[in-house]
Structure 1
Amino acid sequence: MNIGNDVIISAALTGAVTPKDINENIPLTPEEIAADAYRCWQRGAAIVHLHMRDDGGLGTMDSNKFAETIRLLRDRHDCDVIINCTTSGDHRASDKQRQEHVANLNGIEMASWDAGSFNWMPGGVFINSPQFLGALGEVLTERGIKPEVEIFDAGMLGIADYFVQQGKLSRPLHYQFCLGVPGGMPATVENLLYLCGHIPPDATWSAFGVGKAHMPMLYAAIALGGHVRVGLEDNVYFSKGVKASNTQLVERAAQAIRLFGKEVATPERARKLLGLRPL
């Protein structure tokens, strides 16, 4: 479990599925995503988690769109936010396409490593084969990119352990507990307590709940000594029937952290906590 007074806010800006007609604040283009990432950093996000969308608004693993978004964000020279890129988000992409950006682009400091496959109800199977996970782990390790080990169910903890033992992942790990996805582990405090109690003592962790579970999981993660993730990828409402923006969700997380008596981690402090190289 995490020990200390600093809490890292990660802003998951876009996701791969939710259309803009549900919430017009969802950024879709590289220009919109980079601008929203900058605003979230200004309000306390130490990490931005990036998905890309194609010209039709669907999730894509297009390396050029990742490259353009990273360039636009890093062109803002005052911004030291940590860039964390997805390796999923397009079911049409091959295993190779899911790794191209992390294998070839500069500026990516973290990347998601989804620790297993499961039925993402009711749409289909979220596939992360052992072969893909091993190859992705090797790429991330070779390039010095910190894996964000995404856990959707308790059995995935053992999968992450297996790849550590195989030398494909390096400790200390950083876990992202993704709770409330249909087909995954429900977003309850009991489940979060179980997960954070069954990871190595040197690990760091963060959590979020999908939809209406985002507030209980936000408060529970802070109380249990973890870090937090918020953003329109996971939840598009600020309150019942009221559409959110990414900046509003980051601001509320920062307020909750401070009211709890903790500090919102700066990107510099977050890099130290996560074992990342200085920018």
Structure 2
Amino acid sequence: MSNSKQKVIITAALTGAVTPRGYQIPETPEQIAEDAYACWKAGAAVVHLHMRDDNGFGAMDAKKFKKTIELIRAHEDCDVIINCTSSGAAHPTDEERMQHFKEIDEIEMGSYDAGTFNWMPNVVFMNSPQFLEQLGQLYIDRGIKPEIEIFDSGMLGITEFYVKKGKLPSPCHYQFVLGVPGGMPATVENLLYLKNHIPEGSTWSAFGVGAGHLPIMFATLALGGNIRVGLEDNVVYGKDAEGNKIMATNVMLVERAVKAVKLYGKQVATPAEAREILGIREK
């Protein structure tokens, strides 16, 4: 592979569990798989998957994960990296959060939310020490690359604790999640702090929620990171000449990220290059 420092991995987070219906969010396995394929064709090396139930709410449904992944892989030319959430419903049990990772061999990456915090205004996002230890060991056993979600700076210390305990493989891949109510605001100052406090040799990516989307994307490019886009985090593309909101699609957001990477003078990583950068063995 050519100079990896010139390669930028684009992740497309297609659905999420929190954003309500009414936008252009894919919900069924068929819709999610088709969006995944379209985003891969547009330049995404990774697709981050959530499932929704029949009423449009987030669901940790192993059968739907399996069906969605099968539909993606039915496109024989599609080598996109499959990244699945471990936290995609309102009140799942620890076992429900891990079941799809135990059953589905094709999952290459999984989210690892490195701590509990108050997701304001009325939700406690639970990630107990016991769950994090079990999830980290499961990822090691299954050969799944953890994507360590950092919502606040203290989660860096939690991650280091489990690395030292042998419950997380290293070097780690960090995802800085900025702008969630109750977490760190989506500022360049906070992004720089997090980037400067991860171990040498780590890889990292970042995104800002909502209005923080573009500032964090551009700052991430300037700081040498990878970027995540998608309707899980941001449903507005911009405004038209009259000041009206332009609602986004996942493909629109990926295409803009590709253009930003190229304008910055870097190259968009292919899935094969992303696997090499992240240390993932293709399944």
TM-score scaled to structure 1, two decimals?
A: 0.97
Aligned position for 2:25:
26
Query: RMSD of the alignment, in Å?
Result: 1.0
Alignment of 1:38 onto 2:42: no
Question: Aligned-pair distance for 1:91?
Answer: 2.3
Please tell me whether the aligned partners of residues 10 and 49 of structure 1 are also in contact (alpha carbons under 8 angstroms): yes
Please tell me whether the aligned partners of residues 176 and 205 of structure 1 are also in contact (alpha carbons under 8 angstroms): yes
Please tell me whether the aligned partners of residues 34 and 70 of structure 1 are also in contact (alpha carbons under 8 angstroms): yes
Alignment of 1:273 onto 2:274: no
Please tell me whether the aligned partners of residues 103 and 140 of structure 1 are also in contact (alpha carbons under 8 angstroms): no
Question: Aligned-pair distance for 1:123?
Answer: 2.6
Aligned position for 1:116:
115
- How many residues matched? 276
The whole-number CA distance in structure 1 between the counterparts of 2:67 and 2:49 is 12
The whole-number CA distance in structure 2 between the counterparts of 1:5 and 1:208 is 19
Aligned position for 1:17:
18
Letter aligned with residue 201 of structure 2: D
Please tell me whether the aligned partners of residues 61 and 88 of structure 1 are also in contact (alpha carbons under 8 angstroms): yes
Alignment of 1:255 onto 2:259: yes
The whole-number CA distance in structure 2 between the counterparts of 1:178 and 1:3 is 23
The whole-number CA distance in structure 2 between the counterparts of 1:89 and 1:123 is 17
The whole-number CA distance in structure 2 between the counterparts of 1:92 and 1:209 is 25
SS of residue matched to 1:70: helix
Question: Aligned-pair distance for 1:92?
Answer: 2.0
Aligned position for 1:63:
62
Aligned position for 1:8:
9
Which runs of 5 or more residues in structure 2 are unaligned? 240-244
SS of residue matched to 1:172: coil
Letter aligned with residue 194 of structure 1: Y
Letter aligned with residue 250 of structure 1: V
Aligned position for 1:243:
247
Question: Aligned-pair distance for 1:3?
Answer: 6.5
Equivalent residues in 2 for 1:57-96 (5 A)?
57-96=56-95
Please tell me whether the aligned partners of residues 108 and 282 of structure 2 are also in contact (alpha carbons under 8 angstroms): no
Q: Deviation per CA, 1:89-130, whole angstroms, max 9, x where unpaired?
A: 212210011000011211000000000010001131000000
SS of residue matched to 2:11: strand
Which runs of 5 or more residues in structure 1 are unaligned? none
Q: Deviation per CA, 1:215-245, whole angstroms, max 9, x where unpaired?
A: 0000000000000000000000001411000
The whole-number CA distance in structure 1 between the counterparts of 2:43 and 2:227 is 12
Letter aligned with residue 29 of structure 1: T
Equivalent residues in 2 for 1:73-222 (5 A)?
73-222=72-221
The whole-number CA distance in structure 2 between the counterparts of 1:66 and 1:209 is 26
SS of residue matched to 1:19: coil
The whole-number CA distance in structure 1 between the counterparts of 2:92 and 2:231 is 23
Please tell me whether the aligned partners of residues 4 and 277 of structure 2 are also in contact (alpha carbons under 8 angstroms): no
SS of residue matched to 1:84: strand
Letter aligned with residue 268 of structure 1: A
Letter aligned with residue 199 of structure 2: P
Q: Deviation per CA, 1:219-274, whole angstroms, max 9, x where unpaired?
A: 00000000000000000000141100000000000000000000000000000000
SS of residue matched to 1:176: strand
Please tell me whether the aligned partners of residues 3 and 225 of structure 1 are also in contact (alpha carbons under 8 angstroms): no
Question: Aligned-pair distance for 1:17?
Answer: 2.0
SS of residue matched to 2:212: helix
Q: State which drifts further: 176-185 or 3-12.
A: 3-12
SS of residue matched to 1:4: helix
Letter aligned with residue 19 of structure 2: T
Letter aligned with residue 231 of structure 2: L
Question: Aligned-pair distance for 1:278?
Answer: 3.2
Please tell me whether the aligned partners of residues 254 and 264 of structure 1 are also in contact (alpha carbons under 8 angstroms): yes
Q: Deviation per CA, 1:183-234, whole angstroms, max 9, x where unpaired?
A: 0000100100000100011100000000010000000000000000000000
The whole-number CA distance in structure 1 between the counterparts of 2:68 and 2:114 is 26
Q: Deviation per CA, 1:148-206, whole angstroms, max 9, x where unpaired?
A: 00000000000000000111001010000000000000010010000010001110000
- Percent same amino acid at aligned positions? 62
